[in-house]
Amino acid sequence: MFESFELGHRISDRAYAAAEPKLRQELLQAQYELLEKKHFPVIILIGGVDGAGKGETVNILNRWMDPRHIVTHAFGEMSDEERERPRMWRYWRALPPKGRIGILFGAWHTDPIVDRVMGRTGDAELELALNEIVSFERMMADEGALILKFWFHLSKRVQKERLRALEADPKTRWRVTDTDWKRFKLYDSFRAVSETALQETSTGYAPWTVVEGTDPNYRYLAVGRALLDALRNRLAGGAQAASRPAALPEPALDGRTVLSGVDYSHQLAHKPYNRALEKYQGQLNLLSRKKAFRSRSLIIVFEGVDAAGKGSTIRRVSGALDARHYQIIPIAAPTEEERAQPYLWRFWRHLPRTGRVTIFDRSWYGRVLVERVERFCSHQDWMRAYHEINEFEEQLTEAGGVVVKFWLTVTKDEQLRRFRERQKSPFKNFKLTPVDWRNRKKWNDYQRAVCEMIERTSTARAPWFVIPSNDKNYARIEVLKTLCERVAAAL
């Protein structure tokens, strides 16, 4: 495919000087309209051959537009902090918010290409990585992002000449490294793998634009006009979603669900509860201190009906852990900063390093629960979220994470009893809000959403554990015992 971009495209200095002022003005106007409306972010990926003018082109874009509203990230070797988390973690942290432009050098497409060329991975691993990229970019597009991907190409002969010219000039010599020459020796391999990567990841919602990098005038105008056209189309209301709307799921004909068979009769008396609490807290503490746990992380998700005892259960879990090695993340309505990002962004930023534990008090499942029931998002959004969540949790487990998800459930009568108890207690009435009473009126809607959530997102890697919590003693011990079993099995 790259033969089509070795034609020697050139723009004369005179033609460039005539076109540049108008293009700069229009790009700046489009940027400020984007900033004012804040309807979507713009993600610009920069990749390609060393010496093809990637850096110079980005500098031009920052000069033509307002650089205060452009965030530029360059990704090199992973840091220790990045290696201890899923591969995509560092890219999620670099995403621009709505209304802003993010320019990413060497982003998520780079490592799979380099690893394949260097022989660190095979064709199967490359295919899996490219499939992950396609899914990630589809989610970004579904969340509203405008994705532009530019690949700067040079023929082998021109790249060699370019590197030599840069090396010969004292002002640019620093830009050519031993790594550049080592990669040049593998030019043919890089070309073949890059062609495969571009073909597999160029989609209607995130296409690659290959730019011949020989002539600066040509590449600057080509990239600038492509960016302007894309911005204008989207600002005018152009199509954005990558996924088709899905049909609403139908409930089972016989009315049976994963919650209808829950046995709420379990009870645990005070003395055996105390013995079991000491036993399982001790086990969990020892497991978290094992040498093998240093290459793992533990992600615990607590969801459940209001007043099911999530907070008190979390306290029993955290009581078994070293306070220096865990964090509890309470999830409420998203902040303005969080609303400007894809809904999973605020969870990616809190993922633990290896050897650490993160406890989520409510989680990413809000998209298919409260956002679904309260209609804070469209049915298309929450329907596609099942698949996105499964992929997210798969990435967590592939990176060494142990994901344990609990749904704490009580009967409707028991919930009412606890609500009334909270009303009477001066130490508990702050926990009861008008939202709790409103949610109770939608009990059946939430029960249906919960059942579908469990059916669609309980996987072998990250299963759901439904814990009957009419008796809090029993629920706490079941949670601790399950955590011990899951962590022990992973080690």
pLDDT tens-digit map of 314-350: 999 999 999 999 999 999 999 999 999 999 999 999 9
The answer to whether residues 217 and 299 belong to one domain is no
Within this chain, do residues 476 and 396 fall inside the same structural domain, yes or no?
yes
Structure tokens at 78: 């992973």
* Count of Cβ atoms closer than 10 Å to residue 298 Cβ: 26
Give the count of domains, the chain: 2
CATH code of the domain containing 452: 3.40.50.300
C-alpha 422/C-alpha 263 separation (Å) is: 25
Residue 290 lies in a domain: yes
Half-sphere exposure of 292 (CA within 13 A, CB side): 8
Instruction: Choose the final residue of a domain: 217, 235, 253.
Output: 235
What is the number of other CB atoms lying within 10 angstroms of the CB of residue 179?
10
Q: In terms of C-beta density within 10 A (0-12 exposed, 13-18 middle, 19 or more buried), how is residue 244 classed?
A: exposed
Strands of the sheet with 357-361, listed across from one edge: 326-330, 357-361, 297-304, 401-409, 464-468
Q: Within a domain: residue 265? A: no
219 with 316, same domain: the answer is: no
State the pTM of this model.
Answer: 0.88
Same domain, 134 and 198: yes
Predicted confidence (pLDDT) at residue 431 exceeds the cutoff of 80: no
Q: Are residues 50 and 193 in the same domain?
A: yes
Residue 361 lies in a domain: yes
In a domain, 22, yes or no: yes
Residues 206 and 353 in one domain: no
| Beta pairing, strands 42-48 & 146-153 | parallel
Highest mean pLDDT among 118-122, 158-162, 178-182: 118-122
Q: Can you tell me the distance from the alpha carbon of 385 to that of 139, in angstroms, rounded to the nearest whole number?
A: 9
Model confidence at 149: pLDDT above 90: yes
DSSP secondary structure, 159-190, as one string? HHHHHHHHHHSTTTGGG--HHHHHHHHTHHHH
Of 235, 257, 291, which residue sits at a domain end?
235
Q: Single out the residue in 235, 254, 286 at which a domain terminates.
A: 235
Give domain status of residue 400, yes or no. Answer: yes
E-strand stretches of 325-434: 326-330, 357-361, 401-409
Asked whether residue 292 is assigned to any structural domain, the reply reads yes
Same domain, 337 and 385: yes
C-alpha distances (whole Å) from 296 to each of 101, 300, 310, 320, 353 are 35, 13, 24, 17, 8
- On average, the pLDDT of the chain sits at 91
292 and 353 in a single domain? The answer is yes
For residues 14 and 149, state if they share a domain: yes
**CA 358 distance to own-chain centroid:** 17
Task: State the amino acid at position 287 in one-letter form.
Answer: L
pLDDT band for 245, please (50, 70, 90 cuts): low
- Specify whether 393 is located in the same domain as 279: yes
Q: Radius of gyration (Cα) for the chain, nearest Å?
A: 27
Tell whether the model's pLDDT for residue 1 goes beyond 80: no
Quick one: pLDDT band at residue 177, thresholds 50, 70, 90?
confident
Is 88 part of a structural domain of the chain? yes
Q: Is residue 254 part of a domain?
A: no
Same domain, 335 and 394: yes
Q: Are residues 204 and 300 in the same domain?
A: no
Q: Could you tell me the residue range of the domain that residue 151 belongs to?
A: 2-235
